[in-house]
Structure 1
């Protein structure tokens, strides 16, 4: 998927975490509808400029594929923890932060910040790169 395609999905209303999770939906055994619903609340760093939705989408992918089932499932929990750490390490090698406020330079959760992000085209220049980087990292580790 190229950055232009991702930008077009943003225009249609899809958010970064949704794009990431939907990319892996078939391999994870979930429908595209389920993928979009699962990741729907994470756009814009949960709407307040916190953790990037693409990173949150990655955590859902890792959780579905490697997540532990609660009590007495420590081997799976260890595997999931390793995959999560591997993702974060690879992310940090490419980006200085995982919070939207820092990645975009403005608070997407505020009216002024969102205006600046849109005015400067950051949603279409920065966010698609973050989505693609997330997908690439996941392709490498799962």
Structure 2
């Protein structure tokens, strides 16, 4: 199974989009799946259900940082590489899907109780989120 399909299957198994992307890509950078799942939990549904940046995009940016990020304050080349790759990812998602925010992509307000119900009833995960998840994984694998 390829990585984007693995990530899509994780969402079908009820993992968050952020978890599906970061766990899939993070393993390739040496982080254990359980640790990746925990680290990426808060980024789901547009960061803590706020509808902001898509969790799949957040998970992908975390993976880019894990592979290329700086840990020494003066390593600006590594930092700038992460910024460049993250911008490239966001631009690609916006070009293919129209935006890079959870609310913009799904039309769902997860801060309201009826949001999750609408998400399920309308099959948004299958119609929209899985495609974005797969595009995030594929894009990161192409650019890194």
Q: Which consecutive unaligned segments of at least 5 residues does structure 2 have?
A: none
The alignment yields a C-alpha RMSD, in angstroms, of 1.9
Report which of the two has the higher share of helix.
1
Residue of structure 2 in register with 1:31 after alignment: 32
Answering whether residue 15 of structure 2 is matched by residue 14 of structure 1, we say yes
Question: 129, 137, 140: which one pairs with 1:138?
Answer: 140
Query: What is the alpha-carbon distance in structure 1 between the residues aligned to residue 91 and residue 53 of structure 2?
Result: 15
Residue of structure 1 in register with 2:46 after alignment: 45
Q: Which consecutive unaligned segments of at least 5 residues does structure 1 have?
A: none
Deviation at 1:11, TM superposition (A): 5.0
* Aligned 1:1-142 pairs, distance under 5 A: 1-2=4-5, 6=8, 9-46=10-47, 47-142=49-144
Q: TM-score, normalised by structure 2?
A: 0.87
How many residues are matched? Answer: 140
Query: What is the alpha-carbon distance in structure 2 between the residues aligned to residue 137 and residue 35 of structure 1?
Result: 19
Deviation at 1:9, TM superposition (A): 2.9
CA contact (8 A) 2:46 2:54 kept: yes
Query: What is the alpha-carbon distance in structure 2 between the residues aligned to residue 86 and residue 64 of structure 1?
Result: 16
Alignment deviations for residues 2-23 of structure 1 (CA, whole Å, 9 cap, x no partner): 49x72x5335331111111121
Alignment deviations for residues 29-81 of structure 1 (CA, whole Å, 9 cap, x no partner): 11111111111111111212221110110110011111122521112112112
Deviation at 1:25, TM superposition (A): 2.6
CA contact (8 A) 2:11 2:20 kept: no
Cα distance change of structure 1 residues 11 and 77 upon mapping to structure 2, 3 Å threshold: closer
Cα distance change of structure 1 residues 84 and 11 upon mapping to structure 2, 3 Å threshold: closer
Runs of 4+ deviating beyond 6 Å:
none
Query: What is the alpha-carbon distance in structure 2 between the residues aligned to residue 64 and residue 89 of structure 1?
Result: 20
